[in-house]
Amino acid sequence: LMMDQLPQVFLADHALHLETDSQLISLGHRSKTNTIESLTDQLKNTLANGISRKQADRWRRRWFRVYAFRGQLLTLKTTQILLDNNQIAYDDLCADPHCLLRFPFQIYNYPSVIQIILFIMREILIASRHYFERINKGKQLQQSSSLQSDMICIQDVKSKQLQETLVHTQEALVIQILLDVLHEYKKTACLPAYRELQGVICSFIHQMFITNPVLAKLVHFQVNS
């Protein structure tokens, strides 16, 4: 999934983050790769030793600038560091988006880093829709040669309904995990830290509800059940 394939609402939401550094654009391929490695090395250091608030904010700004021209690669490298898994592929994230949230709990102490993780989550959820659409179309092509036209139409409807249900379930699960995290974080964090994290996470959830109002009902049902 390339930048020009992302829905405009996604890009508009993050236009302020995707400011591009002219010096970064002018760098060669090797230098850009080194820039990504530098960012991921800093993330490794954060996981191992912690980082100051000022450093975390500076890292966040650099990350978004680099994302503007190496988005998918930076997403994958960042996720591999967060999950301590160099084998995970982009399609693995698309098939199971909520696995992105299996990073160490102490990362929630850095709202600047959480902003990046939730930005990645938005990207992955969008890419996940394309991923399942691609799989669905592949299955339809295999079945079309052996089924009559009426049966094909019925199968198409069922496949699309199943796909939408799966996507909604995944997105609702992500929201539920984040709400549970807030509940746990509140038990140990000071009030200002909790409020800051709450603002970051609730802003993300609010945008998801705006994009897909069905999620609000689904999450409400899950909470009550």
- Predicted confidence at residue 150, as pLDDT, reads 53
pLDDT at 215: 86
| Predicted confidence (pLDDT) per residue in 60-88, tens digit | 988 988 888 778 899 999 999 999 999 99
47 alpha-carbon distance from chain centroid: 19
Sort residue 51 into left (φ over 0), alpha (ψ -120 to 50) or beta: beta
The rounded distance, in Å, linking the Cα atoms of 136 and 161 is 11
Contact 59, 39 (CB under 8 A): yes
- Tell me the pLDDT of the chain (225 aa) as tens digits: 444 444 443 444 454 444 444 444 444 444 455 678 888 888 888 888 888 888 899 899 889 888 887 788 999 999 999 999 999 999 999 999 999 999 999 999 999 999 999 999 999 999 988 888 887 776 666 655 555 555 555 556 566 777 788 888 889 999 999 999 999 999 999 999 999 999 999 999 999 999 888 888 887 666 555
